[in-house]
Amino acid sequence: MPPHVKKFLQLCETIDSHDIRKILNLGVCVLHDLQRSEAKRLLHIFEVAMDKV
């Protein structure tokens, strides 16, 4: 996992739950048009997480 993704996920762990949806949405926007398989997998994880929040 790239270092910037690890930092992003660590940030998500430290914020209040009402802000998590905003951060996940930002992640989805950033990853949406990327073609790499890792980005697509992470995008799917973010989308699933948004459905649960």
pLDDT in tens, 8-50: 777 777 777 667 888 888 888 888 888 888 888 888 988 888 8
| Predicted pLDDT at 11 | 77
pTM tops 0.85: no
| Predicted pLDDT at 50 | 82
pLDDT at residue 1 tops 70: no
> Tokens at residue 10, please?
């660590």
- Beta-carbon contacts of residue 1 (< 8 Å; ≥ 6 apart): 38
- Contact between 40 and 28 under an 8 Å Cβ cutoff? The reply is no
| Predicted pLDDT at 9 | 74
